Amino acid sequence: MIPTILILGAGGQIGSELTEKLRTIYGSNHVIASDIRNNNTQLVTSGPFEIIDATDKEAILTIVKKYGVTQIYLLAAMLSAVGEKFPQKAWNLNMTSLLAVLDIAKEKHINQVYWPSSIAAFGPTTPKINTPQQTIMEPSTVYGISKLSGEFWCNYYHEKYGVDVRSLRYPGIISWKTKPGGGTTDYAVDIFFSAIEQTNFECFLSKDSCLPMMYMEDAVDATVQIMQAKSEQIKIRTSYNVSAMNFTPKELAKEIQQHVPKFSITYKIDYRQVIADSWPDSIDDSKAREDWGWSPNYTLSKMTKDILENLLTQ
Ligand code: AKB
């Protein structure tokens, strides 16, 4: 049966590309995009669109009933860097929206939920290299605390009420169509916009700050794949580690310079460095590979080439 999907936070970095992909797979009328505002013309014109505050359970339920929604993808969230400026707002948005959606699933209005966790659920005491699926998790940001708590809420609703909720711990996601907002890994997107202007990029992380990253194409594929997997393949109901590449700002700049020799980078470290320092350098995603066949397609060089080609021909 073709699912009818509601995407909360569809106007954001991941939501906008995921909506496009899901509309291609299931047909535009089966994918209802929603956000708190309607400033993304592409989303609004390519299929159904509704204004929804993701913390408002009744508003979500009204739309679920209106369209006969069977799956919700909850992508509305406040990210790590901006969350440190507004800790209570971040907690409220990230947790209230998740509990609203899990409750809607518990009440059997829908039958599947997707909710992203993040590498931010790890913390400074977590083993940094090849971080295992199950390990010490003591996040130091409010975003990370909300992700770790959210993972356990997902597991609780699955165990206790049989809710079919699936989740990935996204690394930094790199895209060129829609920019992210308020994350610590955002430098790896902004850098490409300086590169195509052939200007200097001032990086807010140090040159050797290594972080796990993933190209949007892979992030969207991983999301679709985990949602399409058979229920019995999903053995982890907190959230799966997924990994594609790891690099430092210096390594990314070097890769870009192969295509844009005039591009340069300088470093002016700010408060986001401490956040980056608390996250893993690399991730062990063997469980995702074993359980539902995850495997990324993009390396750093393939991604860099693809982004620059797209941005330069836009
Ligand atoms: C952020 O930097 O806050 C996000 C994330 C890693 O979840 N991109």
pLDDT digits (tens, 9 = 90+) for 233-250: 999 999 999 999 999 999
- CATH 3.40.50.720 positions along the chain are 5-172+214-241
pLDDT at 314 over 90: no
Distance of CA 209 from the midpoint of ligand 1 (Å): 14
pLDDT digits (tens, 9 = 90+) for 100-141: 999 999 999 999 999 999 999 999 999 999 999 999 999 999
- In the predicted model, what is the mean pLDDT of residues 71-81? 98
In ligand 1, the atom with minimum distance to the C-alpha of 184 is: 2
In the chain, what percentage of residues exceed pLDDT 70? 100
- CATH 3.90.25.10 positions along the chain are 176-213+245-283+297-312
Q: What is the pLDDT of residue 202?
A: 98
- Provide the whole-model pTM: 0.98
Atom 4 of ligand 1, residue of closest alpha carbon: 183
CATH of domain 5-172+214-241: 3.40.50.720
CATH of domain 176-213+245-283+297-312: 3.90.25.10
Q: Are 55 and 71 in contact (CB under 8 A)?
A: no
Give the H or E element holding residue 170.
strand 168-170
Question: Does 240 participate in catalysis according to the annotation?
Answer: no
Q: SS3 helix, strand, coil % of the chain, rounded to 5? A: 45, 15, 40
Residue tagged active-site, from 26, 67, 114, 143 = 143
Q: What is the pLDDT of residue 122?
A: 98
Least Cα distance to 244 among 144, 186, 173, 292 occurs for: 173
Q: Are 132 and 183 in contact (CB under 8 A)?
A: no
Instruction: Say which residues have a Cβ less than 8 Å from residue 97's Cβ, sequence separation at least 6.
Output: 8, 54, 55, 74, 76, 77
